[in-house]
Amino acid sequence: MKMLLAGEWVDRAKAIEVRDPFDNSLIDTVPRADAADADKAMAAAAEGFETARRMTVYDRAQVLFRTARIVEGRLEDFATTIAREGSKTIREARKEARRCVNTLTASAEEAKRIQGETIPFSSFPGGEKRRGYYERVPIGIVLAITPFNDPLNLVAHKLGPAVAAGNSVVLKPATVTPLSGIKLVEAFMEAGLPPLIMQVITGYGAEIGDALVADPRPRMISFTGGVEAGLRITKLAGLKKIGMELGSNSPVIVWRDADIEWAAETCVSGAFWAAGQNCIGVQRIYVHRDVYEPFRKRFVEITRGYKIGDKLKEETDMGPMITEGEARRLEGWVREAEKAGARVLAGRRREGALLEPTVLENVPKTAKVHAEEVFGPTVNLYQVDDADQALAEANGIAYGLHAALFTRDVDMAFKLAYGLDCGGVMINDSTDYRLDSMPFGGVKNSGLGREGIKFSLQEMTEPKVICWYLPKS
């Protein structure tokens, strides 16, 4: 596929191969952009912004509605692209494609609700004889940098609000999974978005990232990815607004009165969705000791029933990790935990990029699978005796995106929900739930700012005050 720069779909002499992590088959190639391409993308986006800011809200919303309909009409093609270039099974990929339609539709709807308010200028002496208001105006060029694990919907979470707000946007998708994002940009073009408003540049973050991030033309960087790249970006960005959607290491508390069958079922799904490469995936489960044994038994049984392998087969429950290197990395972390005393209850074997869904207990706090973001198919079980211990353990890490708890006791639910230090708490569900229009983001190393269309629109617009001095009033 080609990249879209300055209104033209272009190739480059150097190409990057996009391969299926399951069998390493070649799917396609994309251009390997360089710093000169980054400059070209920004120059075109600066021109595109002049068009974008003049588009009526009606026109922006219509483009977004049309793009949503185009994606909806090609759901299976989008799902197959997601499933082939990434880790998701075809069933998981279909869900992502459907969510992308929701994200674009919500962007179209929210475009019509970008509102300001009147300002009571006379509320302090000196403000008399003034009347006015503020509007929210487009921020400018948005640089959107996206990760591999939701290669379509996380791109839609940036392109949708950027267009709704009246901005132009430069998209740099993840190098291992660029195809779904490029197809989404094609859909925007078919829907009639003036071309200079959107650029997509493909290339390694390590090669073109600094040129994009340090460029003074974007007014905002909207980044979703890991802490390491996120920190580098914040250091280089200069005077720009920054949205950081980073990783996590999500905890779940299963209280003694929980529905054990449901908790086990939904937490297994939450741990192994997208082969665990999910920023809100379940990583640590704290179970009240009264129900630890039955929960552990059911959790391990369901995990052992998982079918892993070919992502395109309907019956497959879990596919490979994104690369063999990533699977080896996590296999090493599991071995490290075992050496330090952890017990493997299920899984652990690896073949190529396929790592079996792995359940651990007795994991020491020093182990990486406890303290770091695993971003893969491993999960730890722990016994707890009381709510304060559960909260201290759940909060005892450097991340805080989502947390979850299972109980039928309303008082306990409130105590735990308010005690958990994170961006969102799911009650009687796993951490792996997100509605595309809810505020989404984290505390601590999980990031800065919130996405979720209405909230992204706040970030991607800024207030402009209009104040009249009326001496005769």
Residues near ligand NAP, by CB under 6 A: 145-150, 154, 172, 174-175, 204-206, 209, 213, 224-226, 229, 232-233, 245-247, 279, 373, 375, 401, 447
* In contact, 35 and 43? CB cutoff 8 Å: no
Pairing of strands 3-5, 358-361: unpaired
**Residue 59: Cβ-neighbour burial (10 angstroms; 0-12, 13-18, 19+):** middle
Instruction: Quote the CA–CA distance of 265 and 245 in Å, as a whole number.
Output: 27
Nearest in space to 300 (alpha carbons), one of 350, 232, 347: 347
Nearer to ligand NAP, 233 or 384 (CB): 233
Burial state string for 386-420 with b = 16 or more CB within 10 A and e = fewer than 16: ebeebbebbbebebbbbbbbbbeeeebbebbbebb
**Residue number, 263 or 374, with CB nearest to ligand NAP:** 374
Q: List the 8-10 sheet strands across, edge first.
A: 8-10, 3-5, 198-200, 168-172, 141-145, 218-224, 241-245, 447-448
Least separation in angstroms between residue 423's CB and ligand NAP is: 9
Q: Which two tokens stand for residue 143?
A: 């640089």
Residue type, 215: D
Handedness of CA 322, 243, 188, 209 (dihedral sign): negative
Cβ 241 to ligand NAP shortest distance, Å:
16
- Of the pair 260, 425, the CB lying nearest ligand NAP is at 425
Nearer to ligand NAP, 150 or 436 (CB): 150
Residue showing the smallest CB distance to ligand NAP in the complex: 209
Q: How far is the CB of 177 from ligand NAP (least distance, A)?
A: 8
Give me Rg for the CA atoms of the chain.
23
First to last CA, the chain: 62
Q: How far is the CB of 230 from ligand NAP (least distance, A)?
A: 7
Helix (DSSP H) and strand (DSSP E) numbers for the chain? 15, 24
Minimum CB distance to ligand NAP, residue 232 (Å):
5
Nearer to ligand NAP, 152 or 233 (CB): 233
Positions marked active-site: 245, 279
CA distance 452 to 104: 11
Closer of 213 and 412 to ligand NAP (Cβ) = 213
Q: How far is the CB of 450 from ligand NAP (least distance, A)?
A: 10
Q: Are residues 443 and 421 in contact, defined by beta-carbon separation less than 8 angstroms? A: yes
The tokens of 80 are what? Answer: 């197959």
404 contacts 425 by C-beta, under 8 angstroms: yes
